[in-house]
Chain A
Amino acid sequence: MPPDGQRGAGVLGGGAGAVAIARRVASRVESVHLFDPFNRMLAMPDGDRICVSASAEEMWSRSDVAISHLEDEAQLRTVLGECWNQRASGHPSTLLELSPISASAQAELSARCRDANVALIGGRVAALGGEGAARSVLFVDDAALSQPELAPLLDALADEVVPTGAAGNAKKVGMLVDLLVGVNTAIVDEAIVLGTRSGIDAATLVRLVGTGSGANAVLARARTAPRGEGAHADEECASLRRGLARASAMASQVDHSMFFGSLAISSLLGRHNAHARRRT
């Protein structure tokens, strides 16, 4: 446990993603102060550099830089509302916001943060394609590059860092990734079921189509880690549907169609329901 008063990086959020972030950045700062505002921490992080803060105020006051990774916009508003009330502490100076929120929500929250002398910079972490171990890419607004205190954290947060330009762009790219991953997962699931019911062994099908024009990163992942059933698959399915729903909301904002995203939601929901029926 670092001594009282020592500053470091704050991490807001309690899900698996936030804990993973805390672990990643712990190697680059003196201490990480993790605060789970909704008591949903799935696993206590290990390592002496990670401290669990009892309140947003404690986390906030001990951090030069904070990273937020919450489930949605509503959670983020609640947490930042508390933090804005503690602006007198003057810390942190920068908030790297990685939650799956829209670019317009980021802009609104950014304005509120500016009033509290905190620079809010948007980003999204996404899974890299390709076979092998799970690796990640961090899409981040260009403003992150001009914040020296963020420099050691950016490299730690993902295997690859990609600046995306103007404020809000990283959120847009992240939602488009969610959209494609959701659609590709749904259609790969359907394609594998169609192939296996046609008498083709699933592993053979995935290997052969992987050499064809239908190859994609979700299919390649299925080759090494087939999607199963059960609680983990249900959670993944729900997470994909949330991502698709967010992308759909984003499309509505610019009056754009979401035909294939909507089909993917139906397909994933159908798969989920079929699994649930089998279990009962």
Chain B
Amino acid sequence: MNSRLTVGVIGLGGMGRPMAQRLAAAGHAVCGYDISADASASAAREGIEPMADPAALAARCELVIAMVWDDHALRDIVNGARGIAASSRLPQCVVDLSTTSVAVAHEVGTTLSARGSAFLDGAVIGGGVAAVKAGKSPIVLAGDRMLFDRYLHAFSVLGNCSYVGALGAAKAIKIVNNLLVGVVTAANAEALSLGVALGLDLGQLVGWLRLTLGGSRVLDSYMGRYVDEGGYGEGLIGHRLMAKDMQLAAELAESLDCPAVFPRPAREMYLAFGRSLGADRPFPSAFEFFRGNARDTSVPQRA
């Protein structure tokens, strides 16, 4: 039954805010909380009822969706002094769609379960802000299957949802996806910079490589757009967050005794990109880092 819910969204940034807007547009009552008072006030102008803290939001909502920065932020909104777990009345279901670790998914799930609230872990695995706004993001969710089915009508407002198994599975898929995004983007950046250093035209080269087995969605989406428009696209995370995602992959691999050559060096590279270009510059700007460090100076070193 597609009932009208009271849904809380915690984290009203680039991804969380359009999610809240879509839920409101679908007829649900939506409450919002963000650590930034400006973000809450801005969302309030769009019909999202601002709440003073996660505990107050939790007391009002049947379903709570978190879209926050990292593990620390997720723990804070759940276990903090005014976190969800401290609420007088807990929601039926809390869903974390942030890019956080498998370990924290289990930890938060245990905490909320002990307080009588259920937890699903989830992730948006593609499409960026534009797809979230259009409700077309691929979304994976894991945990209690019955809970997933019960709230699927609300989740479906946000994108194309797939149930992927036991708690933690969605986070693992997200971490794998972002490992691929991070490494393939940086490797493309290095290869394209090399191509330019060899005298090839960047636009033609992107077009040629896209045809081949070396092609990828990041090459199409980010470098294709850079060539066409001079930018990488809307709402992309910066080098700092991509470094965090590489760290998540490294930690997951180490926890599973899984051989993984790429994650830690990729993290170091994203930290280097951030130091050179700005920690919050969109992560595909790695290309500019390699161009800036190339001997050939015939192209602009900093776009």
By DSSP majority rule, is chain A's interface helix, strand, loop, or mixed?
helix
A259 x B212 contact (CB < 8 A): no
| Cβ-closest chain A residue relative to B257 | A197
A200, B169: Cα distance in complex, Å: 7
A255 x B295 contact (CB < 8 A): yes
Residues of chain B within 8 A of A160, CB atoms compared: 211
A212 x B187 contact (CB < 8 A): no
Residues of chain A within 8 A of B258, CB atoms compared: 193-194, 197
B214 x A184 contact (CB < 8 A): yes
Residues of chain B within 8 A of A172, CB atoms compared: 195, 198-200
- Name the contact of A169 in the complex, choosing from B178, B200, B294 (C-beta under 8 A): B200
Residues of chain B within 8 A of A267, CB atoms compared: 261-262
Residues of chain B within 8 A of A48, CB atoms compared: none
B213 x A181 contact (CB < 8 A): yes
Q: How far is the CB of A225 from chain B (nearest CB, A)?
A: 12
B interface bracket (residues with beta carbon within 8 Å of A): 35 or more
Binding-face segment, B58-66, B69-77, B202-210:
B202-210
A194 x B212 contact (CB < 8 A): no
| Cβ-closest chain A residue relative to B123 | A212
B56 within 8 A of A: no
A217 x B173 contact (CB < 8 A): no
A260 x B183 contact (CB < 8 A): yes
A187 within 8 A of B: yes
B269 within 8 A of A: yes
B184 within 8 A of A: yes
B208 x A139 contact (CB < 8 A): yes
A208 within 8 A of B: yes
A214 x B178 contact (CB < 8 A): yes
A149, B108: Cα distance in complex, Å: 70
Encoded as 1 (CB less than 8 Å from any A CB) or 0, chain B from 274 to 293 comes to 00000000000000001001
B166 within 8 A of A: yes
Binding-face segment, B19-27, B47-55, B216-224:
B216-224
- Name the contact of A254 in the complex, choosing from B179, B198, B253 (C-beta under 8 A): B198
A215 with B216, Cβ < 8 A, contacts A183-B184, A259-B265, A263-B262 known = yes
B138 x A187 contact (CB < 8 A): no
- Name the contact of B193 in the complex, choosing from A198, A215, A256, A263 (C-beta under 8 A): A256
A126 x B212 contact (CB < 8 A): yes
B31 within 8 A of A: no
A67, B164: Cα distance in complex, Å: 50
A254 x B166 contact (CB < 8 A): no
A191, B175: Cα distance in complex, Å: 9
B125 x A213 contact (CB < 8 A): yes
B104 within 8 A of A: no
Instruction: Return 9 A-B CB contacts under 8 Å, by A number.
Output: A173-B200, A173-B205, A190-B179, A192-B176, A198-B252, A213-B221, A214-B125, A256-B193, A260-B190
With A173-B209, A215-B216, A267-B261 given, name 8 new contacts (CB 8 A): A194-B258, A209-B173, A213-B177, A214-B176, A216-B216, A217-B216, A254-B194, A263-B261
